[in-house]
Amino acid sequence: MIETDILIIGAGPTGLFTVFEAGLLKLKCHIIDGLPQPGGQLTELYPKKPIFDIPGFPSVLAGDLVTNLMEQIKQFQPGFTLNEVAEKIERLEDETFIVTSNKGTRHHAKAIAIAGGLGSFEPRKPILKDIEFYEKENRGVEYFIKDPEKFRDKRVVISGGGDSALDWSVFLANVASEVTLIHRRNEFRGALDSVEKVQELKASGKIKLITPGEVIGFKGSERIESVDVEINGARMNVPTDYFIPLFGLTPKLGPIANWGLEIEKNAIKVDNALDYQTNIPGIYAIGDVNTYPGKLKLILCGFHEATLMVQSVYQRMNPGKKYVLKYTTVSGVDGFDGTRKEAEKAVVKSID
């Protein structure tokens, strides 16, 4: 049995940062995640994709953000149960919880923080004949870009009209030998800055843009050699080495959906007026997995929710005890491993 103060379900950025904020309150954390390594979607889906809205980082690669978070929480010695899914939950008489994974690992916790992002996810796949054949064994259809170097000096066709399609088209323009972006409408629904960058790259000849257009089939016996595209009723053939449809993800809560939590549109309802607690006392939901009026699915919002949530857990574990907030620049940070981080002390000295 693994014992911990807070059991965090989800090792994405919100779950990882929870360890740091909990550590400041001397609360021990253990993390469960179905993936084989920490980082959640940032590691699994787009480790080389730049993120632009993390405070203090004009741009940071998703994988680097995970690396930095892991370094930040190292001194608080979190435990990890990886490649396992939280499956069953039992609430004990003392209001603590036992969570059992799909592989039988048991965890005993005083509170639970569900930070599962979008939950388990699958790409939204286009309905195209023989697409299953080309999905296998590096035959040309890819739904995620984990390593952009895979596409170095290759011809790439990207399909989609959102941020992922735009951002990866921009990024791969300097990696692939040829990038073609296809969208069934003339208008894109991504960030204005990304749309403008694609426009600039199109004007300079670094990106080919086909709108309105839609991929309707493939050619190639062993792997993809080209895609067939329909444009206003006409057809054209575009030679390519890879076809990357980026139509978003289909999220699923998985076993958590059966825990008796209040669910709304595949997200967990929480009390955002106080502490992001669910309808079950002692179980919280933070990050993209939760919902409340005005919810924004941003990493920085998850960080904020995690910070307030651990304060509530502290009060739950220490009823009646008042916690006095101290800035880390003043109090320093004491790790569970005996390390200490602190700002340099002011020097008191007279000037002659």
Binned at pLDDT 50, 70 and 90, residue 13 comes out as: very high
Above 90 in pLDDT, residue 193? no
Residue 347: predicted pLDDT: 62
Higher pLDDT, 334 or 154: 154
Above 90 in pLDDT, residue 35? no
Binned at pLDDT 50, 70 and 90, residue 189 comes out as: confident
Residue 81: predicted pLDDT: 96
Lowest mean pLDDT among 42-51, 97-106, 116-125, 288-297: 116-125
Highest mean pLDDT among 116-125, 161-170, 318-327: 161-170
Strand-pairing partners, residue 6, are 29, 111
Q: Where are the alpha helices (DSSP H) in the chain?
A: 13-24, 41-44, 62-73, 131-135, 163-172, 192-203, 299-317, 328-331
Q: Are 120 and 144 contacting, i.e. CB atoms less than 8 angstroms apart?
A: no
Residue 251: predicted pLDDT: 65
Would you tell me how many other CB atoms lie within 10 Å of the CB of residue 277?
19
Residue 155: predicted pLDDT: 97
Number of H helices, E strands in the chain: 8, 23
Binned at pLDDT 50, 70 and 90, residue 171 comes out as: very high
What single letter denotes the amino acid at residue 284? Y
Q: What tokens were used for 219?
A: 């050619």
Residue 121: predicted pLDDT: 62
- Cβ-Cβ contacts under 8 Å for 100 (sequence gap 6 or more): 86, 87, 88, 89, 90, 106, 107
Above 70 in pLDDT, residue 6? yes
Q: What tokens were used for 274?
A: 């106080």
Residue 352: predicted pLDDT: 66
- Cβ-Cβ contacts under 8 Å for 147 (sequence gap 6 or more): 47, 48
Of the chain, the percentage scoring pLDDT greater than 70 comes to 96
Residue 137: predicted pLDDT: 86
Residue 295: predicted pLDDT: 95
Q: Backbone dihedral region of 245: left (phi > 0), alpha (psi from -120 to 50 degrees) or beta?
A: beta
Binned at pLDDT 50, 70 and 90, residue 37 comes out as: confident
Residue 346: predicted pLDDT: 65
CA torsion 191-12-49-245 (nearest 10°) is -70
Residue given tokens 């170095």 in the structure block: 152
Lowest mean pLDDT among 76-80, 185-189, 259-263, 284-288: 185-189
Tens of pLDDT along 324-352? 777 888 788 889 988 998 877 766 667 76
Residue 311: predicted pLDDT: 95
Query: Which of 214, 211, 213, 239 shows the shortest CA–CA distance to 154?
Result: 239
Residue 120: predicted pLDDT: 60
Residue 276: predicted pLDDT: 97
58 burial type by CB count under 10 A (0-12 exposed, 13-18 middle, 19+ buried): exposed
User: What mean pLDDT, rounded, does the chain reach?
Assistant: 91
DSSP letters for 178-243: EEEEE-SSS---S-HHHHHHHHHHHHTTSSEEE-S-EEEEEE-SSS--EEEEEETTEEEEEE-SEE
**Residue 33 DSSP one-character state:** E
Would you tell me how many other CB atoms lie within 10 Å of the CB of residue 304?
15
